[in-house]
Amino acid sequence: MDMATARKLWIHCNSCFVHFIDKKNILFLLACQHVICEKCVTANLGRTPSDAPTYTCPMCKKQVRGRQVNNSLPTNLKDMFHPEPWIDGLAHDFITSFQKAHFKSLDMHIARKERATNKLDKDLELAEKICRKHYLENHRLRMERKQLEFQLQKVRHQAHLRKREALRRKMRQRTESHNPIKERNANQHQHQQIRKRPASVNLPKSTITSFLHNNNHSFDL
């Protein structure tokens, strides 16, 4: 950026802060000393085509005359944008106060943007911390879920094995109960065991030793 362009950086719309050097919008210098672009200003046409239009300033809400900011401005208005009014012996007090007001407006806008940017940076930093915390928590939950799924698979496998073993045992018992050869062998074995068993002897439950009592033949000695 050359010096001539840098000296025009302060020329901007007082409402939306679009810059004159961007050449995106037409800027108007209003009689209320505000510089407003064509998108922010409201033009009020005159009663006849020869009447100059008036503009409603969005800053002070006044209806004033205005001229487009370009090289076709009258000399007294163009001098208000002079980069060095004190050199050419201009009425630089009025021009300097005009330019200082616009410099101040631009500085305040830049300060607001910086505060908003700093706030956004802090919000982004906080959001990043929260996202990182949620990510770690979700990672922990995913690992815990995998462990639980593995344990669930183990339990299901053990339950399946037990079910198969119980079904196999049930089938074995059913097969044995319906096998006549094994049943006959079991009955023969049971009869043989009964035959080999010694005869039981009925013994008195208790034996009491005492004198024998014969019939009573009483007599005197």
* Reported pTM: 0.58
Name the residue range of residue 14's domain: 3-118
How far are the Cα atoms of 33, 81, 98, 156 from residue 40, in angstroms, in the given order? Answer: 15, 21, 20, 72
| Range among 139-153, 180-194, 196-210 rated most confident | 139-153
Residue 203 above 60 pLDDT? no
- The answer to the question of residue 63 being in a domain is yes
CA 195, chain centre distance (Å): 87
How far are the Cα atoms of 14, 22, 36, 69, 163 from residue 39, in angstroms, in the given order? Answer: 12, 15, 8, 14, 81
H or E segment and range at residue 127: helix 92-177
* Overall domain count for the chain: 1
- The answer to the question of residue 181 being in a domain is no
- The answer to the question of residue 107 being in a domain is yes
pLDDT confidence of residue 219: 43
Q: How confident is the model at residue 220 (pLDDT cuts 50, 70, 90)?
A: very low
pLDDT confidence of residue 186: 60
pLDDT confidence of residue 5: 84
Pairing of strands 54-56, 42-44: antiparallel
- The answer to the question of residue 37 being in a domain is yes
Residue 94 above 60 pLDDT? yes
- The answer to the question of residue 141 being in a domain is no
- The answer to the question of residue 205 being in a domain is no
With a pLDDT cut of 90, the percent of the chain lying above it is: 51
pLDDT confidence of residue 47: 61
